[in-house]
Structure 1
Amino acid sequence: MPSGPPAAAGRAARRGWAQALGTVLAGLVAMGAVAALGLWAAGAADLPDNAFPRVVVATVVTAVGGALEMSGDAGDLAATDAGLIVMPLSVTLTGALVIGRGFVRPLRHRAVGGAGELAGWAGRIAVLWLLALLGTAFAARQTFEVSLGEGLLEDLGDLFGVSPTVGFTADVPLTVLFGLLWLAGVLVLALLVSHRTPLPGPLLRLRTSAGPAAYAMVALLLACVVIGVVVALVAAGTRGSPADTFAVLLLGLPNLAWPALTIGLGATWNGRVEGPFGLPMPRVLDEVLRTPDVSTVNVGTLAERDGRMWWLLVAAAVLVLAAGFLMASRAPARRPAWLHAVHLAVALALTVLVIGLVARISAHYGLSVLGIGDLGGGLSGQVFLRPRLWGAVGLALLWGLVAGFLGALPARWAGGRPGRVRS
Structure 2
Amino acid sequence: MNARTASGPPAARHGWVGALATVLGTLVAMGVVAAPGLWAAGATDLPGNSFPRVLAATLVTAVGGSVKLSGDAGELAGAEGGLTVIPLSVTLAGALVAGRGFLRPLRHRAVAGAPELAGWAARIAVLWLLAVLGLALAARHTYELSLGEGPLGDLGDLFGIRPVVGFSTDVVPTVLIGLVWLAGVLLVALMVSRGAPLPAGLLRLQTSLRPAAYAMLLLLLAAVGIGLVIALVVAATRGHPAGTFAVILLGLPNVVWPALTIGLGATWDGRVEGPFGLPMPHVLDEVLRTPDVSALDLGTLTEHDGGKWWLLLVVSAVLLCAAAFVMAARSPARVRAWRHAVHMAVALALTVLMICLMARISARIGLSVLGIGELGEGLSGQVLLRPRLWGALGLALLWGLAAGFAGAFLARAVRRTEGAGAER
TM exceeds 0.5?
yes
The 8 Å contact of residues 369 and 375 in structure 2, kept in 1 or not, is answered as: no
User: C-alpha separation between the residues in 1 aligned to 2:155 and 2:95?
Assistant: 49
**Cα offsets for 1:227-285 (capped at 9, x unmatched):** 00001011111101110000000000000000000000000111111112224221111
**Cα offsets for 1:200-236 (capped at 9, x unmatched):** 2123222332111111100000011000000101111
User: C-alpha separation between the residues in 2 aligned to 1:305 and 1:14?
Assistant: 57
- 3-state DSSP class of the match of 2:290? coil
- Counterpart of 2:317, as a letter, is A
Shift of the 14–313 alpha-carbon distance from structure 1 to 2, 3 Å rule, reads: closer
**Cα offsets for 1:46-95 (capped at 9, x unmatched):** 11111000100110001001122222122111121211110000000000
Number of the residue aligned with 2:27: 28
Number of the residue aligned with 1:411: 411
- RMSD, matched Cα: 1.8
- The residue correspondences of 1:300-315 to structure 2 (distance < 5 A) are 300-307=299-306, 308-315=308-315
Deviation of the 1:375 alpha carbon: 6.7
TM-score by length of 2: 0.93
The 8 Å contact of residues 244 and 280 in structure 2, kept in 1 or not, is answered as: no
- The residue correspondences of 1:332-371 to structure 2 (distance < 5 A) are 332-371=332-371
Deviation of the 1:293 alpha carbon: 1.7
Deviation of the 1:13 alpha carbon: 3.9
Deviation of the 1:188 alpha carbon: 0.8
- Counterpart of 2:361, as a letter, is I
User: C-alpha separation between the residues in 2 aligned to 1:285 and 1:339?
Assistant: 38
Number of the residue aligned with 2:7: none
How many aligned positions are there? Answer: 409
- The residue correspondences of 1:21-100 to structure 2 (distance < 5 A) are 21-100=20-99
- More deviation, 109-118/63-72: 109-118
User: C-alpha separation between the residues in 2 aligned to 1:345 and 1:15?
Assistant: 36
Deviation of the 1:115 alpha carbon: 2.4
The 8 Å contact of residues 80 and 375 in structure 1, kept in 2 or not, is answered as: no
The 8 Å contact of residues 81 and 375 in structure 1, kept in 2 or not, is answered as: no
User: C-alpha separation between the residues in 2 aligned to 1:12 and 1:343?
Assistant: 35
The 8 Å contact of residues 21 and 125 in structure 1, kept in 2 or not, is answered as: yes
Percent identity, aligned pairs only?
72
- 3-state DSSP class of the match of 1:368? strand
**Cα offsets for 1:12-35 (capped at 9, x unmatched):** 548611011000000001101211
- 3-state DSSP class of the match of 1:105? helix
Number of the residue aligned with 1:114: 113
The 8 Å contact of residues 270 and 295 in structure 1, kept in 2 or not, is answered as: yes
- 3-state DSSP class of the match of 1:270? strand
The 8 Å contact of residues 191 and 207 in structure 1, kept in 2 or not, is answered as: no
User: C-alpha separation between the residues in 2 aligned to 1:243 and 1:377?
Assistant: 24
- 3-state DSSP class of the match of 2:277? coil
- Counterpart of 1:87, as a letter, is I
- Counterpart of 2:151, as a letter, is L
The 8 Å contact of residues 341 and 402 in structure 1, kept in 2 or not, is answered as: yes
Unaligned 5+ segments in structure 2 are 5-9, 419-424
Shift of the 19–336 alpha-carbon distance from structure 1 to 2, 3 Å rule, reads: same
Number of the residue aligned with 2:421: none
**Cα offsets for 1:134-182 (capped at 9, x unmatched):** 1111111111112213321111111111111111111111111111111
Number of the residue aligned with 2:161: 162
Unaligned 5+ segments in structure 1 are 6-10, 419-423
